[in-house]
Structure 1
Amino acid sequence: MCELYQFTSEHRTVDPEILFNSHTSIEAEGIEFWPLEKVEHKDEKQPISDSDANWEEMLPTDYEDILKLSKNRIQWTTKKQAYSIMSKGFLIRDGKKRSIWFFLDKNGKKCHMLSASATATWDLYSYKLTLPESRFGEAFQCIFRIPNIISNIQSHLVSPQTTYACYLVYKLPKDQSEFQAPILVEDQGDFNSNRHRYIFLVSPQTPVIRPKADQNTHNPLNKPKFKGLPQERNDGWMEVQIWEFLAATTTETIPACLALGTRGDKMLSGLIIEGVEFRPI
């Protein structure tokens, strides 16, 4: 699904005409019209007692084991302190010595980000950068293309019976002209289905049709959060959802094998990737 345009209803009949400029065939099921509602963000957090029993309910059952995986020694004396540490996040290392940033979401669900070096095979078309603004202190910059994302997600780093989304965390160069085209994401780990989707690293411009022609614009005030469209993060990076999976209760690892590419192997020089993040939907 992609957003075509925005308009304001003026209680009159309008016959829209949309032209698709494409060199390939497009299969369309239809066109949906959604109202754009302005959402007021409210703080729904309720005060919580300092009792350890109350804070322990918000912690995963294996929180002590996870805290022991921290790259740096963590000290805590109360369950409230443990929850605060896990909510803010910290670096851990697994058995393969991969750099992982672990944290809890607002519902106490497990989340984590794998560093770029832990999720892809970086070749001659990319190189490693030292970046203080990265939580890993490093990132990788693409010279030609995005490498395949290959990793095994450890079950103890996700909450069971929970659907997760996988996000590519990245930064764009100043010249973004080469990043306007959609990126094809193929799930190469699922051989029984043809699972693929398109994502954007740069939000496509959406025409806003107003009552008067001279009021038309390409800068809508409200942008819907469709899958595959990038979002700006609070930490200064960008993210876009590239995959989904269900965390089961018995699987020790969850394989991920994603191929990202552009039509005609278009160059994506200058793209900086910090890693991939897994959060509940």
Structure 2
Amino acid sequence: MEGVKCITELPEECMSHILSLTSPRDAARSAVLSSEFRSAANSDVVWGSFLPSGFEEIISKLESPLVFSSKKDLYLHFCNGPFLLKDNTKSFWLDKATGKKCYMLGGRELSISLENVTSYWRWMPQPSSRVPAVAKLMIDCSLKIKGKMKSRMLSPSTTYVGYLLFKVASPEEVCVRWGWNAGLGGYGGDFRRVHTSEQQQQYEEEVPHMRKDGWLELEMGSFFNDKNEDDELEMEMRNFHIRTPKSGLILEGVELRPTPTPTP
């Protein structure tokens, strides 16, 4: 624009448009530079661009109403989740640095072998859980847990990592697998061995880490979500020693989060 010597001399709508092309972190940092930047950086134009597409539908699916005064306020609310969805089997939130969607699939959203046989599994409330009921394994030799999710529910062009969330009384070796179903060749992905104990690590196995909320978090694998909305992600865990009875596992669910963004 002719005659403009400083970016703050631009109309506010121009500054807002420029900031909407950056990131939530950059927009928040720019707000402290000047009153002109603060006004532009806090606008609905900027924060509306960081909200995921279809956020209105997400709001309609929340179990509890969400009250917000601006799109920045809504964005920060989503980042302070998770929020339980109306089906009581999933929770949702946003990654604060990127605005990417995050989900936790509770045990009821997963397919668990013999889950309705009370001598094998029992469903019970857990105060620290984000879903109404978690599954406790009483005894089972053929432990198998599977989950599916449509790729369109996740943020496109994003690399995600899946984590199994659980508590355990006795450590076990298990196998986990990720795979896509694109409607042609079926599910893919190779099984790999992991361990449910923080203390034991053999054969380059993955081991879990204790979270601040008291649940163990075990990385299952990573995958890139492209823009094909017809794809379906499948995740699976099964026991490694199939003839050995298992017990003591308390399953909260599987969490899907974008790969961490390095802090500059």
* Same fold, TM-score > 0.5, yes or no: yes
**Which residue matches 1:75?**
67
Task: Work out the percentage of aligned pairs sharing the same amino acid.
Answer: 26
What is the rounded CA distance, in whole Å, between the counterparts of 2:152 and 2:242 in structure 1?
39
The equivalent position to 2:167 in structure 1, one of 171, 174, 183, is 171
SS at match of 1:70: coil
Asked if the contact 2:147–2:236 (Cα under 8 Å) also holds between the matched residues in 1, the reply is no
Q: Which residue of 2 aligns with 1:51?
A: 43
1:91 aligns with 2:84: yes
Gaps of 5+ in 1: 1-42, 207-225
| Contact persistence 1:120–1:147 (CA under 8 A) | no
- Give SS of 2:85's match: strand
In the other structure, the counterpart of 1:223 is none
**Alpha-carbon distance in 2 for matches of 1:98, 1:256:** 21
Task: Give the alignment partner of residue 108 of structure 1, picking from 99, 124, 132.
Answer: 99
Q: Offset at 1:265? A: 3.2
Superposed CA RMSD = 2.8
One-letter amino acid of the counterpart of residue 143, structure 1:
M
Matched, 1:159 2:162: no
Query: Structure 1's 86 and 194: CA in aligned 2 closer, same or farther, altered over 3 A?
Result: closer
- Which digits, 9 at most, give the CA deviation of each residue in 1:29-57, with x for residues without a partner? xxxxxxxxxxxxxx997364432223223
Q: Secondary structure at the match of 1:64?
A: helix
Unpaired runs of 5+ residues, structure 2, are 1-24, 32-40, 260-264
Tell me how far 1:257 sits from its aligned partner. 4.6
| Amino acid in structure 2 at the alignment position of 1:84 | L
Task: Measure the CA separation in 1 of the matches of 2:175 and 2:51.
Answer: 37
Distance 1:107 1:195 in 2: 30
User: Structure 1 residues 111 and 150, CA, compared in 2 at 3 Å: closer, same or farther?
Assistant: same
Q: How do 1:194-233 residues align onto structure 2 when only pairs under 5 Å count?
A: 195-205=190-200, 228-233=206-211
> Offset of 1:164 from its aligned partner?
1.5
Structure 1, 141-150 or 182-191: larger mean CA deviation? 182-191
Check 1:273–1:193 CA distance in 2 against 1; reply closer, same or farther (3 A cut). Answer: closer
**Equivalent residues of 1:92, 1:102 under 8 A apart:** yes
1:151 is displaced (CA, Å) by 3.1
Structure with higher helix content: 2
Match of 1:185 in 2: 176
Separation in 2, partners of 1:247, 1:102 = 17
Whole-angstrom distance in 2 between the partners of 1:252 and 1:192: 13
Deviation at 1:131, TM superposition (A): 1.5
Query: Matched residues in 1 for 2:205 and 2:103: separation?
Result: 20
Counterpart Cα distance in 2 of 1:47 and 1:232: 35
Number of residue equivalences:
212
Per the alignment, residue 227 of structure 2 pairs with: 249
Q: Secondary structure at the match of 1:46?
A: helix
Amino acid at match of 2:222: E
Q: Deviations over 1:112-138 (max 9, x none)?
A: 001101112314211101112211122
* Structure 1 residue 189: Cα displacement: 7.1
2:100 maps to 1:117: no
Q: Which residue of 2 aligns with 1:236?
A: 214
**SS of 1:203's equivalent?**
coil
Instruction: Give runs of ≥4 in structure 1 deviating > 4 Å.
Output: 186-194
Aligned match of 2:6? none
Report if the CA contact (8 A) 1:52-1:79 is conserved: yes
What TM-score results when the alignment is normalised by the length of structure 1? Answer: 0.66
Aligned mates of 1:140, 1:271 — CA distance in 2: 8
Change over 3 Å in CA distance of 1:77–1:189 after alignment to 2: closer
The answer (yes or no) to whether the contact 2:165–2:252 under 8 Å persists in 1 is yes
1-structure distance, mates of 2:239, 2:179: 13
| Mean Cα deviation higher: 265-274 or 144-153 | 144-153
Instruction: Call closer, same or farther: CA 1:58–1:189 in 2, change over 3 Å.
Output: closer
Q: Give the partner amino acid of 1:111.
A: C
Q: CA deviation at 1:269?
A: 1.3
